[in-house]
Amino acid sequence: MALVNEHYLKLTAGYLFPEIARRVNAFAAEVPARAAEIIRCGIGDVTEPLPPSAVAAMRAATDELAVRATFKGYGPGTGYESVRAAIAQGDFRSRGLEVADDEIFLSDGSKGDCGGILEILGAGNRIAVTDPVYPVYVDANVMFGNAGAAMTGGGYEGITYLPCQESNGFLADIPSSSVPAPDVIYLCSPNNPTGTVMDRARAEAWVAYARSHRSILFWDAAYEAYNRDANAPRSIYEIAGARECAIEFRSFSKSGGFTGVRCGYTVVPKSVCAYTREGQAVSLHGLWTRRWNTRSNGVSYAVQRGAEALYTEAGRREVAALVDFYMENARILREGCTNLGLKTWGGVNAPYVWAKTPSGFDSWSYFDHLLRNARVVTTPGAGFGRCGEGYFRISAFNSRANVQEVVRRLATV
């Protein structure tokens, strides 16, 4: 008898975005004449074309594959050396941060990595996530057996939720010494969904906390390219001691517009350790290398070449222009919401605006209200966790015309 992974059976109604899609499809079926007017600012998916440097590099790579003399078969499971070197140099060493080429692990995006990394950790770790949170961290931990049953009202038993509310500027506080210390803490800055960035002092406090408890920080920097706050670290390795306790996830999805191309990477410093039950320290770098070489043959050659091209001079300029474009969208959305009297956060160092729902609406009722009356799709804050109730997220990933139209329509409802 084949046994099922029963942890999957604990998962609640589903990932947030399928539920949004269900409501949008139901509305479109109900009022087909208006379906074409729907503007989607819900899911954070880019809309603009790829940087030309990446396109040229991927074309050239495909041409290489078309000729026997330059054909490539299987590549290294963890990424081509030149690509790992371009990343380590471009994102870290050029900024004075110590990261070796072989501490970079290429992948098909950080969504997979922030769950997949759990494979090299033991069962029974106490996991902490922020609330609200990028839902993938939670669901991946449920699947791996790191959570108990779903609780009424949201969340899972056994997961430590770190409340992020107006009172703490939507930034997770260090747990008090009276609660059991989490073994793994997911932090995301710039944050999805709240658009806030973690300041240096708080990041330092988290690194100190992790080191004193022999915990590991999973630092998700998928939106690093949007961070313009000089007081907010762009990489956790800007913080002294982070190489002993932090793994960083990066993605080309929102910097190079690679959501469809699929490429990201994870930084695993050789000095990050987890422990055997007897307390013996084991470097995770070797385990993650082994995991990749056993479980995958790596990222497509052409895609890696496309990612590498983002580090050329032209590539950098193109990425900066793309990020500037979405940040101007964010500014328009944020100011539009503020002008309507909505209280907003984010949208300054992140492509997401987080806003308080007007009185009388909870997250999902305001979602339905905007869908039905403005034909605008947002993301209800409650979908990101209990503390997201009473807020909604608007994504700046859209055309300029759509963003301007969203602001115009919001003023009419």
Produce one character per residue of 14-40: b if its CB has 16 or more CB atoms within 10 Å, e if not. eebeeebeebbeebbeeeeeeeeeebb
Give the contacts of 312 (CB within 8 A, at least 6 positions apart).
Answer: 53
Q: Segment near ligand PLP (CB under 6 A), from 64-72, 86-94, 104-112, 304-312?
A: 104-112
Smallest gap from residue 262 Cβ to ligand PLP (A): 7
Nearer Cβ to ligand PLP (263/407): 263
Q: Note whether 407 binds ligand PLP by CB under 6 A.
A: no
Instruction: Kindly calculate the radius of gyration of the chain based on its CA atoms and give it in whole angstroms.
Output: 21
Among 51, 79, 109, 351, binds ligand PLP (CB under 6 A): 109
Residue nearest to ligand PLP (CB): 109
Cα(359)–Cα(350) distance, rounded to whole angstroms? 26
C-beta of residue 57 within 8 angstroms of C-beta of residue 308? yes
Q: Note whether 133 binds ligand PLP by CB under 6 A.
A: no
List the interface residues with ligand PLP, window 234-263 (CB under 6 A). Answer: 251, 253, 259
Cα(274)–Cα(306) distance, rounded to whole angstroms? 34
Among 24, 106, 222, 299, binds ligand PLP (CB under 6 A): 222
Nearer Cβ to ligand PLP (264/383): 264
Smallest gap from residue 190 Cβ to ligand PLP (A): 9
Nearer Cβ to ligand PLP (131/220): 220
Cα(72)–Cα(103) distance, rounded to whole angstroms? 24
Give phi and psi for 179, each to the nearest 5: -105, 145
Q: Note whether 44 binds ligand PLP by CB under 6 A.
A: yes
Nearer Cβ to ligand PLP (182/351): 351
Tokens for 353? 């605006």
Nearer Cβ to ligand PLP (196/253): 253
Smallest gap from residue 192 Cβ to ligand PLP (A): 4
Give the contacts of 206 (CB within 8 A, at least 6 positions apart).
Answer: 172, 174, 185, 187, 198, 217
Show the binding pattern over residues 301-340: x = contacts ligand PLP (CB under 6 A), - = does not. ----------------------------------------
Give the contacts of 217 (CB within 8 A, at least 6 positions apart).
Answer: 185, 187, 206, 207, 210, 236, 242, 245, 246, 247
DSSP state of 43: S
List the interface residues with ligand PLP, window 383-402 (CB under 6 A). Answer: none
Among 410, 230, 246, 234, which residue's Cα sits nearest to residue 338? Answer: 410
Nearer Cβ to ligand PLP (222/236): 222
User: Which residues make up the interface to ligand PLP (CB under 6 A)?
Assistant: 44, 109-111, 134, 188, 192, 220, 222, 251, 253, 259, 264
